[in-house]
Structure 1
Amino acid sequence: MEDPKAGEILEQSTEPQTSASTSSTPASTSSSWQRNSLSNAKFDIEKFDGTNNFGMWQCEVLDLLFREGSDIALSSKPKDISDEDWNYVNRQACGTIRLCLAKDQKYFVMKETMASSLWKKLEDKYMTKSIENRLYLKKKLFRFQYKKGISMIEHLDNYNKILADLQNLDVEISDEDKALLLLNSLPDTYEHLTTTLLYGKDEVKFIDVSNALVNNEYRKKDQLDHRDSALEALTVARGRTNNRRSEVPNERGKSRSKSRGASRSKPKGESSFRRPAKDECAYCH
């Protein structure tokens, strides 16, 4: 039998992300819990520090435990697993879970050797299913509004986080209510799109509304990029035309300047008619 400590993963406290690699199971072949694990697979999971989304963190850690074959430690002990194997898989699961916690969150579970007990303590602390929490999250959902300046994808991410938190509290929102509440969160500029999505329909799906909002934003962005490109091309064309005009001689301007110069060569008021002298005949001269 391998040393039970050999499968534990060393913590790298200086890294903001937890890079965990799955380890092999003990040498015993009689236990039904053993699965083929990915010994070289690595997964980056954001450490839970008490402020990030606990439900999402929990989902990622469960996936990691499943990949390394130690998720069974979160349930009761099967009859066909020896005590030695059961202790090993629990130590392995506890080590993996703690590696995905920030240092401040490890203190109250640092002595736990049973994964189910450690997991329950985390849920009791960070996922309290109280009526106050349900009320808070429902208010947050019903009052959810689009924030000016963010992308539609960011808006949908924020909305889905609220839905995930409610689901963690065993609060189920129907698919149609998800779609209608999402449409209700949009500003007045989306009124035409909302009418288009609902017109002539008896029901609406959340996935259809989400896709329509994202596609609408992409279309607007493409139109804006096309307009900017057209304006830029027009500006360049006008600049070239102005440059050509400045290089062509202005004949009209030159003729005008010549005529002005000729008129200026004569003294002001001088006429081509010469008055005859007193002793001269006006008809002869």
Structure 2
Amino acid sequence: MTTTRFEIEKFDGKTDFELWKAKIKAVLGQQKALLAITDLTKYPKTFTDVEKEIIEVNAYGTIVLNVTDNVLRQIVDRQTAFDLWNKLNEIYLNKDLLNKAFSRKRFFTYKMDYAKSLTENLNEFKRLSLEFRSIGDNIGEENEVFILLNSLPDSFKDVKATMKYGRKRSPQKQLFQQ
């Protein structure tokens, strides 16, 4: 049996929690231990106690080994992978009113940074979009595109206008394009 190694940056409480969670879920899926972060009552009845224990140990170890010490100190008292996972979500997916308001403001007022590349700006926008959705809000893809267009610098004003309002074609041009 071969062992596959996964390199995941340890979660330190400052980096993108949603992306870290997606990576950990992928690893747990590869280990066939994804069930461990769900409710224990959802385990199939056919699983033996030994199988459940193997899944639990793999999941618990994966989570513990992929957080930094300062994060681990906040969750170390949890006994199961399910409890670890829920505590991390409770701490880092804080959905209180102030956090929601802050996330909404950052998302709706995002402006691209001239000093960053287009790829870096798009990554930042996508991160804000995922964060916005994680608080339970969903504005739809069309509105998200509109917000992205509005984040473009003023030097893109012609592109923005064309994308937002389209370009009316004359009837003669429409005939030639058919």
TM-score, normalised with respect to structure 1 = 0.54
C-alpha distance 87-40 of structure 1, shift in aligned 2 (>3 A): closer
Q: Tell me the distance in 2 between the aligned counterparts of 1:137 and 1:111.
A: 30
Q: Tell me the distance in 2 between the aligned counterparts of 1:71 and 1:186.
A: 40
Aligned-residue RMSD, C-alpha = 1.7
Deviation at 1:147, TM superposition (A): 1.4
2:10 and 2:67 in contact (8 A); partners too: yes
Corresponding residue to 2:96 among 126, 130, 134:
130
SS in 2 for 1:89: helix
SS in 1 for 2:156: helix
Pair member with larger Rg: 1
* Bigger relative contact order (CA 8 A; separation at least 6): 2
C-alpha distance 99-110 of structure 1, shift in aligned 2 (>3 A): same
Match of 2:140 in 1: 174
Corresponding residue to 2:75 among 77, 98, 109:
109
Q: Tell me the distance in 2 between the aligned counterparts of 1:114 and 1:85.
A: 15
Match of 1:71 in 2: 34
Deviation at 1:78, TM superposition (A): 2.5
Match of 1:99 in 2: 65
- Verify: 1:48 aligned to 2:11, yes or no: yes
- Verify: 1:192 aligned to 2:158, yes or no: yes
Corresponding residue to 1:85 among 51, 73, 81:
51
AA aligned opposite 2:14: T
Q: Tell me the distance in 2 between the aligned counterparts of 1:134 and 1:47.
A: 25
- Which runs of no fewer than 5 residues in structure 1 stay unpaired? 1-23, 25-38, 202-285
Match of 2:175 in 1: none
Q: Report how many residues are paired.
A: 164
CA-to-partner distance for each residue in 1:109-137, whole Å, 9 max, x for gaps? 33434211110011111112222211111
Match of 1:260 in 2: none
SS in 1 for 2:7: strand
Corresponding residue to 1:58 among 8, 21, 42:
21
AA aligned opposite 2:107: L
Deviation at 1:43, TM superposition (A): 1.7
SS in 2 for 1:44: coil
Percentage identity across paired residues of the two chains: 27
Higher share of residues assigned helix = 2
Q: Tell me the distance in 2 between the aligned counterparts of 1:199 and 1:179.
A: 13
Q: Tell me the distance in 2 between the aligned counterparts of 1:156 and 1:69.
A: 33
TM-score, normalised with respect to structure 2 = 0.85
Q: Tell me the distance in 1 between the aligned counterparts of 2:53 and 2:14.
A: 31
